[in-house]
Each structure stands twice: as structure tokens, then as C-alpha cells.
């Protein structure tokens, strides 16, 4: 079923039948329906849908001149700007999978990703071209600033199916090795369709894009907005900080705000008053788990007309579950609502590889026809994590590595990651549980826990950020934890720290904390000697 452009103007979202096409076809419908509306808004640049279509067509034709037909990916390195979105759409239009490389990652990590992905072409702005040239190793390079403006602005005449590769997102996983997750057009369309069903983006909406397109969280923002006719507004919150974040929200008239959880928590701590940011009708949170304090503070500070969706997602499985707090809801039960599975995602819990009963704790398994295709150029890793569809079914299964349980009401309770489980004094301990316990202490703003070692034995080390102006005492934290946790779950060390280091995605950087712990231990040894 194909809908006309005029029909698209009548309602937000699109029909399920449109999932069996390409992102390119869906985007063409939006351009036809809303060509003169603003598609992209950056710090110094705005593009209408028609201008974005022309610019991406031009770059797509340049890519086609420099690559061979067939399955492949094109990697690019640009700043957090409209170029980040332009490159992604252009690569998709050229029938390749886009691979965005974050400009802030170390050169060694950048080289590892390029070596593992083996892209057909590397694209960069003039500012970053030298960084890619060092890692290119014979791969053709295209400098955006030197692109011939005479390239055809007509759409490439290519037949792109719904199962064609569309994007590769690199994630280190628990091993630290770069590993690319491959997604098809169909999966990106399904993510945009879920956004349409739950978030209801439309032509009047202005959706934030606060993270790099190198991270899977960006797909909900980029495709949820641009495939539903909304404006995508870019702001690099990780590098620009929180000082003018609220000013940007109000100036841009943001209606759908999707911040990293930890940065949102820090931003809420800076606010005073209520009924703030009245343009924002919906806050969507994902990535790190939000706490009840986060939700309570959001309701206190943002306008009552604002709703909140707490998403549970993974790079490989996409959008898995969501807890929806509607505008005007203020009850404790509503603010503590747990996520339930989204459309087309079926959840189960496995314990030692076998189905577990309701309420039992185990590994979350997602079954769906809308999962990632697997790991780029890693068939054995794909076979290890993805289970093929049974005969007569189109649904595969993915073992997430997340620990939790399904409750009687159908909701999911997240309890941490398998790779965050450690053995302490013979007991299996989940670090996430301890972090959540520390965050219940009234004087604590942020907390993180790592497994460390002391005299050859595993111990727990906690890092705590006190609330501004609070009368903070480490012993008060220890006393609270003794009443909440068994002895083996109480941290042996508690370090007070001014701020927790974050990764480019806005998540807590635990490897960096491990370095801090080692440095503090060395200082302590030196003082003892």
C-alpha cells in the first residue's frame, strides 16, 4: 500500500504496510508533502525538506561515482552539525550503509573501527580529513568542503529494498573490541513507525538531536523526526555543556526532548521553579536507567502539560519497552510505572538458557521480526547472540545480556547487565542494584560502583557525587547502605568525587573511574610508606 503526499498531510505517522519499502521512498513522500518546511536546524544553518533532499541527492551521486555497486558501508567523520544528518541520508540514498564516526573518540579507536568495517569510502569535513587520511590505508577519501557543486541534485535511480543494509552502529560491548551492528531499512522504518505510534511527531514538532549519529540512540531522533515531517534540531550537549541548554530549548521551541539520562539528571539539579520549558510536550529518556528521583524532579520542574516516555532499548534490538507517563499525571504510581513491551517485541526471561517463570530473575531475550541483521562482517558473533526464526516464523530472537524479570502485569524490571555482575566473597553481586541503593540517600546526587581488587581479593568501590549544598558525610552513606543491603554488597571503599566522567554518549565512563581508583590507591600506598 502506498499513500499519496496529500494523505500524509492529514495525519501524523504512517501505515504499517509502509515498513516494506526503503527509507528513501518514505523520505520522498515527506519531501513531497512538506518541502518548504524546516527539516534541519543547526547552530548556524537551517535546511528545508526540499533543500535537504537536494543536498543529500548531490552527495549521494558523488558517492556513487567513487564506489562500486553492491553491499558495503561508507564511513564519515564530521562535527555535530547538519552535515552529520546530510551524510547519513546521502549514504542511504547511494544504497550503502552509513557509519558515523564520533570525532571525540581516540585515534586508535577510530583506526580500529575503520579497519574492522573496511568501508568502501571515507567522507570528512576539511577539519577532520587529515584524521581519516592517517587511518584510510588505501580507502578512497571524499572531502565535503571540496564537493563539486555541479553534481546532479536529482535522486539516484536505484532500486533499494526494505532489507537492504542502512546503517552500522559500532559498540564495544563487554569485550572492548569494536563490533558493528548492522540494521536494514526495514528496521529503521519500524523505529520511526514506533516513534509515530508512541511519540506522535508531526509537522508542528521540533525534535532534539543531542547525541552523535554514531550512536544508536540517534536513530529514534533522526528518523522519528524526518520520516514524520517534524523539524530535527541539533545541539551538542556533551561538548557545550548545560549552561545554555535551557536557553536553547526555549529558543528553539523544542517539543520532543531526548537527552542522555545522566546529563538530564545534572540539568534537573540546576533548575529552580516549576512550569518550565512550556514548549516541551514530551521528554523521552533511554540509555542509562532513570531513577525515581529523576522522574520526580522532571515532574516538579517541567510543565504539567509535558509527558515522559522512559524507553528501554538496545543497539541490536532497538526499541524494546516503554513506560509512558501522560501529561497531567502526578500520582506516585504513575511516576513509578515500569516499561511494557512495545509493538512487535516479545520479551522472555531465560535462566541458564532455559525459559524462566514469571518473576524469576534471568537474561532478557527479545523475539521479533524487527531486529538488527547481526554484526557487520562477524557471522560467528551473529550466530552466538541471534537465534534464527523457527520454521514457519519470521521472528528471530536476540539475547540482550540484560538482567531483569517479567512481572505479572506484563511489565519489565531492569536489574543490570550480565557484564556488571561480579563475585564478591562467593556471592554474585549486581553493581546496578548497589548504585540504585546509594542514590536513595538524600545527600547523594550521582553514584557509580565498580569491582576493584585489594590484596588479591575482589572488592566494591563506590564513587559518590554529593548534592550541591548538602551536608554530606560518607558514614551516613555507609549507615544507609547497611540497612538496605547485605554485608557483601556494601562497598569497601567510597570515594567522594566532584563529577562522574561521561562517555561521548552521556553514559558513566567506568573505565575512567577504574583509573581514578587506581590513582587514589597509589596515593594511599605512597602516604603509608
Q: Domain holding 115: CATH number?
A: 3.40.50.12780
In tens, the pLDDT along 271-300 reads 999 999 999 999 999 877 888 899 999 999
Same domain flag for 22 and 127: yes
Same domain flag for 412 and 429: no
What is the CB neighbour count within 10 angstroms for residue 289? 16
Rounded to an integer, the average pLDDT of 296-318 is: 96
CA–CA gap between residue 442 and residue 479 (Å, rounded): 13
In this predicted structure, the answer to whether residue 150 has a pLDDT above a threshold of 50 is yes
pLDDT of residue 126: 93
Cell of 172: 564495544
Same domain flag for 395 and 462: no
What is the CB neighbour count within 10 angstroms for residue 63? 25
Same domain flag for 504 and 484: yes
Same domain flag for 358 and 469: no
CA–CA gap between residue 312 and residue 299 (Å, rounded): 20
The number of residues in the chain equals 529
pLDDT of residue 167: 98
Helix (H) or strand (E) holding 462: strand 457-466
Same domain flag for 138 and 13: yes
For residue 89, being part of any structural domain is answered with yes
Which residues lie below 8 Å from residue 263, measured CB to CB, with a gap of 6+? 210, 237, 238, 242, 502, 506
In this predicted structure, the answer to whether residue 525 has a pLDDT above a threshold of 80 is no
Same domain flag for 9 and 66: yes
pTM score, two decimals? 0.87
pLDDT band for position 198 (50/70/90)?
very high
- Where does a domain end: 140, 167, 199? 199
CA–CA gap between residue 68 and residue 350 (Å, rounded): 44
- Where does a domain end: 399, 416, 433? 416
For residue 40, being part of any structural domain is answered with yes
For residue 216, being part of any structural domain is answered with no
CA–CA gap between residue 417 and residue 500 (Å, rounded): 20
For residue 160, being part of any structural domain is answered with yes
For residue 124, being part of any structural domain is answered with yes
Same domain flag for 155 and 9: yes
For residue 112, being part of any structural domain is answered with yes
**Angle made by CA atoms 294, 313, 18, in degrees to the nearest 5:** 125
Looking at residue 396, which CATH number applies to its domain? 2.30.38.10
For residue 259, being part of any structural domain is answered with no
In tens, the pLDDT along 414-459 reads 888 877 777 777 667 778 889 888 998 989 999 999 888 766 677 8
Looking at residue 518, which CATH number applies to its domain? 3.30.300.30
Count of domains forming the chain: 3
Contact 202, 255 (CB under 8 A): no
For residue 438, being part of any structural domain is answered with yes
Domain of residue 383, residue span: 344-416
In this predicted structure, the answer to whether residue 1 has a pLDDT above a threshold of 50 is no
Q: Which residues of 494-528 are buried (b: 16+ CB within 10 A; e: fewer)?
A: beebeebebbbbbbbbbeebeebbeeeeeeeeeee
Same domain flag for 20 and 152: yes
Same domain flag for 356 and 432: no
Same domain flag for 42 and 77: yes
- Where does a domain end: 393, 416, 439? 416
Q: Which residues of 257-278 are buried (b: 16+ CB within 10 A; e: fewer)?
A: bbbbbbbbbbbbbeeeeeebbe
Same domain flag for 358 and 435: no
pLDDT of residue 427: 65
Amino acid at each position: 500500500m502506498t499513500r499519496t503526499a496529500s494523505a500524509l498531510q492529514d495525519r501524523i505517522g504512517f501505515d504499517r504496510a509502509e515498513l516494506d519499502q526503503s527509507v528513501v521512498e518514505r523520505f520522498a513522500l515527506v519531501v513531497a508533502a512538506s518541502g518548504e518546511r524546516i527539516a534541519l536546524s543547526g547552530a548556524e544553518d537551517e535546511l528545508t525538506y526540499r533543500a535537504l533532499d537536494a543536498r543529500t541527492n548531490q552527495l549521494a551521486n558523488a558517492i556513487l561515482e567513487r564506489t562500486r555497486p553492491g553491499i558495503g558501508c561508507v564511513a564519515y567523520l564530521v562535527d555535530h552539525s547538519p552535515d552529520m544528518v546530510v551524510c547519513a541520508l546521502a549514504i542511504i540514498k547511494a544504497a550503502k550503509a552509513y557509519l558515523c564516526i564520533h570525532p571525540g573518540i581516540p585515534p586508535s579507536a577510530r583506526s580500529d573501527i575503520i579497519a574492522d568495517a573496511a568501508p568502501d569510502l571515507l567522507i570528512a569535513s576539511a577539519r577532520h580529513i587529515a584524521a581519516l587520511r592517517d587511518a584510510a590505508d588505501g580507502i578512497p577519501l571524499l572531502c565535503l568542503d571540496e564537493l563539486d557543486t555541479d553534481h546532479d541534485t536529482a535522486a539516484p535511480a536505484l532500486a533499494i529494498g526494505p532489507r537492504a543494509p542502512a546503517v552500522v552502529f559500532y559498540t564495544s560491548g563487554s569485550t572492548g573490541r569494536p563490533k558493528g551492528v548492522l540494521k536494514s531499512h526495514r528496521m529503521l522504518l519500524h523505529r520511526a513507525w514506533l516513534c509515530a505510534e508512541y511519540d506522535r511527531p508531526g509537522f508542528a514538532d521540533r525534535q532534539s538531536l543531542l547525541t552523535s549519529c554514531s550512536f544508536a540512540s540517534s536513530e529514534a531522533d533522526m528518523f522519528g523526526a524526518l520520516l514524520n515531517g517534524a523539524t530535527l534540531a541539533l545541539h551538542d550537549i556533551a561538548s557545550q555543556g548545560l549552561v545554555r541548554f535551557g536557553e536553547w530549548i526555549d529558543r528553539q521551541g523544542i517539543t520532543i526532548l531526548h537527552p542522555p539520562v545522566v546529563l538530564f539528571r545534572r540539568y534537573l539539579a540546576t533548575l529552580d521553579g516549576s512550569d518550565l520549558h512550556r514548549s516541551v510536550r514530551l521528554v523521552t529518556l533511554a540509555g542509562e536507567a532513570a531513577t525515581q528521583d529523576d522522574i520526580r524532579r522532571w515532574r516538579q520542574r517541567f510543565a504539567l502539560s509535558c509527558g515522559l516516555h522512559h524507553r528501554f532499548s538496545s543497539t541490536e534490538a532497538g526499541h524494546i519497552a516503554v513506560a509512558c507517563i501522560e501529561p497531567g499525571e502526578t500520582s506516585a504510581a504513575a511516576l513509578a510505572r515500569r516499561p511494557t513491551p512495545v509493538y512487535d517485541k516479545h520479551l522472555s526471561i531465560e535462566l541458564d538458557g532455559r525459559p524462566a517463570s514469571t518473576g524469576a530473575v534471568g537474561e532478557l531475550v527479545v523475539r521479533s521480526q524487527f531486529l538488527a541483521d547481526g554484526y557487520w562482517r562477524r557471522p560467528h558473533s551473529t550466530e552466538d547472540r541471534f537465534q534464527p526464526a523457527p520454521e514457519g516464523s519470521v521472528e528471530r530472537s536476540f539475547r540482550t545480556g540484560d538482567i531483569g524479570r517479567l512481572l505479572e502485569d506484563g511489565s519489565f524490571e531492569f536489574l543490570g547487565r550480565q557484564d556488571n555482575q561480579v563475585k564478591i566473597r562467593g556471592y554474585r553481586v549486581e553493581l546496578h542494584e548497589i548504585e540504585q541503593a546509594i542514590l536513595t540517600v538524600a545527600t547523594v546526587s550521582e553514584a557509580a560502583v565498580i569491582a576493584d581488587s585489594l590484596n588479591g581479593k575482589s572488592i566494591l568501590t563506590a564513587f559518590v557525587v554529593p548534592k550541591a549544598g548538602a551536608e554530606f558525610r560518607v558514614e551516613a552513606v555507609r549507615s544507609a547502605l547497611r540497612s538496605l543491603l547485605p554485608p557483601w554488597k556494601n562497598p569497601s571503599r567510597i570515594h567522594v568525587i566532584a563529577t562522574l566522567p561521561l562517555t561521548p554518549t552521556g553514559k558513566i565512563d567506568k573505565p575512567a573511574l577504574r583509573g581514578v581508583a587506581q590513582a587514589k590507591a597509589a596515593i594511599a600506598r605512597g602516604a603509608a610508606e
